[in-house]
Amino acid sequence: MIKGRVRLSSAKVTAFAPANIALCKYWGKRNTELNLPVTSSLSISMGRLGTETTLSLNENRDVFYLNGVQTDQDSVFSKRTTEYLDLFRPDNSFFSVDTKNNIPTAAGLASSASGFAALAGVLNRLFKMELDKKELSVLARLGSGSACRSVYDGFVEWHAGARDDGMDSYAESLKAAWPELRIGIMTVSEKQKPKGSREAMAQTVKTSFFYRNWPDRVIHDLTAIKEAINGRNFELLGETSESNALAMHAAMIESSPAIFYWLPETIRIFHRVWELRQKLVPVYFTIDAGPNVKLLFLQGIENRIIKEFPDLQIVKPFESENV
């Protein structure tokens, strides 16, 4: 179906997609082949942090570059990219893919989300498919579930859907801005995490008793986060996002064998955030499947947060140049 819609172009095309941080997490699939989630989720995009991908046709074989280095055909990056390109590949054709991440790769900072969203974007342009955002979101999801959210800027909701073919499982923008909102990235480690999200997700669903409560938790948290966004209620946004992240990790830790991504510095950051809140400094954290922590705070305390966390990388998701 996909191949039947394409029109070939000989051009070299480039697209950028932002990373995204889930405030209400995506964890668990009802269909692994189509990356259909058990629950809906909600994220915020990361402005200029993400992936730029350049794509062109190649004569003899596929060639992949990641951050300026040609990758081995047997690498995880090359294999996942090849599997995705095969959905679009005309007979007897090959690709050259040049991917540049300005965030660490496979370290729990959503590089696969921005990577596959960017790849979907360049394929859309190369083959002149003229897909709208919703259609592009569906195709990006086939590469990485959370990639469907990286098609957009700002707050994004991914609807889980119910259809077996996945055509009702897509992301859409919430059309809400919060210019004062800040995200601070604390990069604890840039190393590739020991267990990929796909494997960890499947193990959690299969073995964790805590996961049985996860769908109900998501329904509650999605409602609370959307209420917080609509009412600019930062305390509700922060509390819900932080507890949702900890609930996801609790389910991972309780799975068998336990999945534990945190490093000692990760836990020290948690405690520092909690100590600041005891001093009435309104800062919260969220964390995806990895050791790196993201802080949530508002513009008014930016200088205080920088003082407490000098290595913080600050993202302004709604700065005019990012949207």
| pLDDT given at position 9 | 56
**Per-residue pLDDT reduced to its tens digit, 250-288:** 999 999 999 999 999 999 999 999 999 999 999 999 999
Identify the domain boundary among 156, 173, 190.
Answer: 173
What's the Cα-to-Cα distance from 292 to each of 91, 109, 227, 268, 312, rounded to whole Å? 42, 7, 27, 12, 11
Q: Are strands 41-58 and 94-101 parallel, antiparallel or unpaired?
A: antiparallel
pLDDT at 5 over 70: no
Q: What confidence score (pLDDT) does residue 321 get?
A: 44
The answer to whether the peptide bond before residue 282 is cis (omega within 30 degrees of 0) is: no
The CATH number of the domain where 91 resides is what?
3.30.230.10
Could you tell me if 24 and 60 are in contact, meaning their C-beta atoms sit under 8 angstroms apart?
Answer: no
CATH number for the domain harbouring residue 265: 3.30.70.890
Question: Pick from 173, 198, 224: which residue ends a domain?
Answer: 173
Q: Which domain holds residue 65?
A: 3-173
| Shared domain check, 154 and 206 | no
**Residues 210 and 309 both lie in one domain:** yes
Phi, psi dihedrals of residue 113, rounded to the nearest 5°:
-65, -55
Confidence grade of residue 107 (pLDDT, cut at 50, 70, 90) = very low
Question: Alpha-carbon distance 25 to 123, whole Å?
Answer: 27
Which of 123, 141, 173 is the C-terminal boundary of a domain? 173
Same domain, 103 and 201: no
Q: Burial, 19: exposed, middle or buried (Cβ in 10 Å; 0-12, 13-18, 19+)?
A: buried
Residue 10: per-residue pLDDT: 58
Residue 310's pLDDT is 95
Residue (of 113, 80, 123) closest to 135 by Cα position: 123
Identify the band that residue 111 occupies on the pLDDT scale cut at 50, 70 and 90. Answer: confident
Residues paired with 173 in a beta bridge: 156
Lowest mean pLDDT: which of 3-17, 23-37, 88-102, 193-207?
3-17
Same domain, 60 and 200: no
The HSE-up count of residue 180 (CA atoms within 13 Å, CB side) is: 9
Q: What is the pLDDT of residues 58-101, one digit of tens each?
A: 888 999 999 999 999 889 889 999 999 999 888 888 999 999 99
Structurally, how many domains does the chain consist of?
Answer: 2
**Span 7-17, average pLDDT:** 79
Are 143 and 119 in contact, with CB atoms under 8 Å apart? yes
